[in-house]
Chains A and B, each alone.
Chain A
């Protein structure tokens, strides 16, 4: 609805004195011109390399009128802007990850100028290089688990059984409702337990694992609650074993419906993390 939200066409003539920052997409070991030339950055512009300390940061031009602190804060609350930014950033990171390891940057990391980006490379070179080593020849896979259709069916049949009992209509309704709630709680609990088992098995196979917070059902659009939102860093060479394991776990645990997403650039493993105490993380089921 605002004119600034329109994607610019072609080169935007920068007003004299208009400050342009650097949207940082990620850090790689090297980025040849051929790779960069095929990538579209923020606002449809090109991406460019900022080298430093033996590494390369890949950035887009980010006019501060749109990407400065105040506009950025506002824009992040605008869903259309957020989605466009997230998808563009992701396309850049994904293109880089197809060419080699990349340390992706969190969304909306905007430096005032490329000197700031070069300073970052100099200051964090050792850590970034170690992360690149850790991510080389590995991809991230997502496994989401929802309360399975079995559990949902149990809830429905439990409710139906309750409805056949003798008593007044009001009492029957209450019994049915209670039975539904009990069955749903049981389904949720069974699914949450299965999710923990599935995560443990996948984490055992993967190089690293991380549980994201379960997605709100209004956002996931799923018919049942999410009980697992896992991310797994998998050796490219071991991928078929991983997908086979997911399929086996799905067969073994019908109380949870599994969904595999990927390959993802290793967003969830870009930070050095201590080993995951997965079972102590916030669980969906209560």
Chain B
């Protein structure tokens, strides 16, 4: 009973794609039920997202020189909720 969107033509905006890590992390790090109790790592969701994204951005940033990032212009800076976004 898997609901699958039928793969569509190349110019279709609804083209089906496999699960991208960044979409997955939006959900498993920033969503999902948060429980308490006798858990090993009780840190706030935002912290979890931040430390993990630090790993992500560091890995991506290592491949992209800063001047190239500047050239593509100021996009929405990151799924990081809350403060800590460096201003220019």
* Size class of the A contact interface (CB-based, 8 Å): 35 or more
Contacts of B31 in A (CB 8 A): 104, 106, 210, 212, 231, 267-271
Residue in A closest to B19 when the chains form the complex, CB atoms:
A90
Q: How far is the CA of A236 from the CA of B23 in the complex (A)?
A: 21
Contact with A along B1-13 (1 / 0, CB 8 A): 1111100000011
Instruction: Tell whether, in the assembled complex, residue A69 and residue B81 are in contact, meaning their CB atoms are under 8 Å apart.
Output: no
Instruction: Tell whether, in the assembled complex, residue B21 and residue A212 are in contact, meaning their CB atoms are under 8 Å apart.
Output: no
Is B83 located at the chain interface by the 8 A CB criterion?
no
The verdict on A109 contacting B39 (CB below 8 Å), with A82-B52, A217-B75, A218-B69 known, is yes
Q: How far is the CA of A261 from the CA of B5 in the complex (A)?
A: 9
Which of A5-13, A30-38, A73-81, A162-170 lies at the interface with chain B?
A73-81
**For chain A, what secondary structure do more than half of its interface residues adopt (helix, strand, loop), or is it mixed?**
mixed
Chain A: minimal CB distance from B18 (Å): 9
Contacts of A212 in B (CB 8 A): 26, 30-31, 79
Instruction: Tell whether, in the assembled complex, residue A86 and residue B24 are in contact, meaning their CB atoms are under 8 Å apart.
Output: yes
Is A15 located at the chain interface by the 8 A CB criterion?
no
The verdict on A226 contacting B76 (CB below 8 Å), with A73-B41, A82-B55 known, is yes
Residue in B closest to A124 when the chains form the complex, CB atoms:
B35
Is A156 located at the chain interface by the 8 A CB criterion?
no
Is B87 located at the chain interface by the 8 A CB criterion?
no
The verdict on A215 contacting B56 (CB below 8 Å), with A107-B48, A260-B5, A267-B31 known, is no
Is B88 located at the chain interface by the 8 A CB criterion?
no
Contacts of B35 in A (CB 8 A): 24, 105-106, 109, 120, 124
Residue in A closest to B68 when the chains form the complex, CB atoms:
A218
Instruction: Tell whether, in the assembled complex, residue A243 and residue B40 are in contact, meaning their CB atoms are under 8 Å apart.
Output: no
Contact with A along B31-56 (1 / 0, CB 8 A): 11111111111010100100111111
Q: How far is the CA of A227 from the CA of B22 in the complex (A)?
A: 15
Interface of A with B (CB < 8 Å)?
21, 24, 26-27, 64, 67-69, 72-73, 76-79, 82-83, 86-87, 89-90, 98, 103-113, 115-116, 119-120, 123-124, 128, 131, 139, 142, 144, 184, 210, 212-220, 225-227, 229, 231, 236, 239, 243, 246-247, 250, 257-264, 267-271, 284-285
Interface of B with A (CB < 8 Å)?
1-5, 12-17, 19-41, 43, 45, 48, 51-61, 64, 69, 72-73, 75-81
